[in-house]
Structure 1
């Protein structure tokens, strides 16, 4: 570990002293894993109902298919909850993460999502095909800048409309799917909170989400999930969190427990982000960059801009006629 930055070593030591981790899940193409027992009657941990009051006919994704998940499913979620989440908080989560999923080339049900100007008429668009990214703009409406010397393209993407706290609930729902059955009683109020369609309801005072961006080319077909729980005898940190790595992004999401987090009520928390391995070529692409996301907003966010920088080895400028017929 001597080649790692001092801050990374310190963060690794912090989490080793305060938390114990479950075996991580490395989800690769072709794998299929099912969380939970298929024994009958089945029980839904989200609404608390059992068969036959609810059905379990659909395959419930343990995390949304939009993140490239084709192999991790859950026996813990009934059809009603599956549809409810898919039409609600998971849609908000999808809108919040869409720019990063596009830039990381994450293939959802319909492939890598295309991002375009949020107007009905023609406008700029960013899309990915097998040959690479295509950035399209129209005369008189430039939206990206090219630095040929640095071999970089700078531009701003737009997020689709989302409610921050609803996106946060979508993240927490992933963690509540991963936890073992023995832990679910500690999160009874949290299950109720993510199912509550009233996003104005207060729940916990502090709810940071650490987002680590790893620059450079990264695999777009690998998902890594890891669940961490506070060690016995420790009472200065939140009870549990999970990390979710896909493409160039790692999200660290705390799972609030009303009963287990009483020890930190009213206390200011100062936590490092969970350490990540970083890019294979830090000298070329730079170190990971950490931001703390605030997803506690309760109102709809429209037209939010997301700055982005592309590095490139080569670039082809398309002729105007090549763009004809584009929607």
Structure 2
């Protein structure tokens, strides 16, 4: 894992005036940032599968926003559009184009037909303000994550800061911006994400910024990532499992509680190795069961590490099977498999 640069890049006068960009209104509730971001996420997704980076068209995505001709959109809308397809940049250019130019581009039917091939099959919405989950997804899948932030313009610096604690997400002066989380690290001893901004290499730290946990926990308001393209997607939810055995149904008997273990970014390993090793076999079985139920990404290996992705899947299992009152489940958010959950697991999956 590479560390971010911590010194500012020297910029030329013609490109370094960030204030001009703000005054032009290019960031405040900017819809273009998320279309370009989604095109990049799809490119990374294709590269992970085929080791070939394909440039997808932001124009094709942008033209199909649900609230056209108005600007602005919800984060989920971007992924819903991607589920209907994304065509290639070579066919429908978008680089260095304004929103009006993108809206005015004519797209022949055959280019739509190409786009229909590249549909994402499913995506995962992640808990907001949970930096551990974002880091876990990046680590275990290699995929980038779309994350949204809100801020006042003078807070969005190389390492964004909180200057206005009472800033309201929906206030007129508030800027809303989506970026790509591509890595995680420690910054001055604190957990942090490395994000790639859509403004280009002359802004931030060579086009990147460092989002500390302090900023993330206050200003994050959406996070999601695509799992797979539809043509190789194996993540569609399975039918709810029944107590009777079925083909391919995992079997395991659980005898002891399992617990969430934080990730030690400095050592790049579970923070409590002894606990991790003692429960690893059971957690592998648990992850296989959660995959069977469609609650854990099937393209992620069952490693036996009980991290944030597993915790989210456990929480979904506990809620679906009504393991305990919702108020009790909400207090742990899937970070423990206790006696009540073990009882349900064994009723369905015991050897």
- Give the TM-score normalised by structure 2: 0.21
- Structure with more helix by fraction: 2
TM-score normalized by the length of structure 1: 0.22
